[in-house]
Amino acid sequence: MRLELGNILINDVQFGDKTKVDNGTLYVNKEELVELISQDEKIKNVDVELARPGESVRITPVKDVIEPRVKVEGPGGIFPGVIAKVDTVGTGRTHVLKGAAVVTTGKVVGFQEGIVDMTGPGAEYTPFSKLNNVVLVCEPNDDLKQYEHEKALRMAGLKAAIYLGEAGKNVTPNEIKEYENLPLLKSVEKYPNLPKIAYVQMLQSQGLLHDTYVYGVDAKQTLSTLINPTEIMDGAIISGNCVSACDKNTTYHHLNNPIIHDLFEQHGKEINFVGMIITNENVYLADKERSSDWAAKLSEYLGVDGVVISQEGFGNPDTDLIMNCVKIEKKGIKTVIVTDEYAGRDGASQSLADADPLADAVVTGGNANEVIELPPMDKIIGYTEPVNSIAGGFDGSLKEDGSIVVELQAITGATNELGFNKLTAKGY
């Protein structure tokens, strides 16, 4: 499968009479976008705000972040099975508004939602402070259940991203990047002397409000399976979960998975990136056994020499991570696991809830329990009241002057387990 991503570089976002891209600026017709999102009868009220890098703006509680894209050549459409029809994506050309994002916020859905500061110390911990953000502030109907509330915000964000992405359909990209995976046997034939590497991505799926969708199907209803990495780069996987903000994979993370990009970068040079396995994270032991058995079996079937495994979430998913690692290692396949740590505020506690001697190659995204003070901002988009109760916050986190004291756990993307951040650690 061969995919071209045409990146249209966005340097600014402004409201305008017409939604368009002009000379690196994304202009947004606010009234038109509000009308689009208001068509959902589950949303009582919606407003649209803009947040640019360096501005004294705090966005909270953040639900999801989505990159605007539009399919211009090839089969399928963006977010297949959810917005577009269920056609296989990952081929042709997709235009990307690189440097822009849709952020969804509003009344808190679940306690594991986060904070994005556009300037100050908090901005250094989230990649979304570097983007020109179109923020949807959604107020749902009062009688909605949590899962209905989550879905309403999820769909609002996806619709807004599609709407904005259309503005780039007829724009000449600033750059075009090509990604291709050959069929397995042809790939091995082309690079016979390079180590064969696969990527196992664990998808959060641990019950209500812990959902990830693959072509519109909740990942908890799936078995471990093969998928082409270009499909993920083209919108096949979206976020629908409320895990801790620091290591949550937003839809933006899935679209821009740095492990996929890095493996492609080394493909045909130092490694042969032969393919990808997605597997879910489960609550019950039998389900964990089943999924990890399948991930190991598929890794063996591919005949790979090494595997990179990434996790989403912490605590219970640590068991899924270690089970995947150990079972693949016992197949004679070397593994590297990518995770983060909950090592206590002093960093002295056990980092993961599970461990094994075979898990001896680890990349960490940092310690989510580290405490940070966020100074007051001139403007708040959303609501600050939930800060005292979201994961990483505590009673008294929100100060009278508007400053916030929280663990990094509360900052969206701070310790992301795809490595989409600046934090790590070195072992000695």
- pLDDT at position 111 over 80: no
Confidence of residue 113 (pLDDT cuts 50, 70, 90): confident
- pLDDT at position 422 over 90: no
Confidence of residue 339 (pLDDT cuts 50, 70, 90): very high
Q: Is residue 201 part of a domain?
A: yes
Q: What is the pLDDT of residues 179-213, one digit of tens each?
A: 999 999 999 999 999 999 999 999 999 877 789 99
Q: Is residue 29 part of a domain?
A: yes
Q: What pLDDT is recorded for position 426?
A: 65
- pLDDT at position 428 over 60: no
Q: Is residue 419 part of a domain?
A: no
CB contact at 8 A, 386 and 61: yes
Q: Is residue 357 part of a domain?
A: yes
- pLDDT at position 373 over 80: yes
Q: Residue 299 sits in which domain range?
A: 2-410
Q: What pLDDT is recorded for position 427?
A: 59
More reliable by pLDDT, 318 or 210: 318
Burial bucket for residue 69 (CB in 10 Å: 0-12, 13-18, 19+)? buried
CA dist., res. 12 & res. 293, Å (int):
47
Q: Is residue 63 part of a domain?
A: yes
Q: Which residues are catalytic?
A: 242
Q: Is residue 424 part of a domain?
A: no
Structural domains of the chain, count: 1
Mean pLDDT, the chain, whole residue set: 94
Q: What is the pLDDT of residues 43-87, one digit of tens each?
A: 999 999 999 999 999 999 999 999 999 999 999 999 999 999 999
State percent of the chain over pLDDT 70: 99
- pLDDT at position 144 over 90: no
Q: What pLDDT is recorded for position 135?
A: 98
Q: Is residue 418 part of a domain?
A: no
Mean pLDDT of 130-151: 91
State percent of the chain over pLDDT 90: 83
Q: Is residue 365 part of a domain?
A: yes
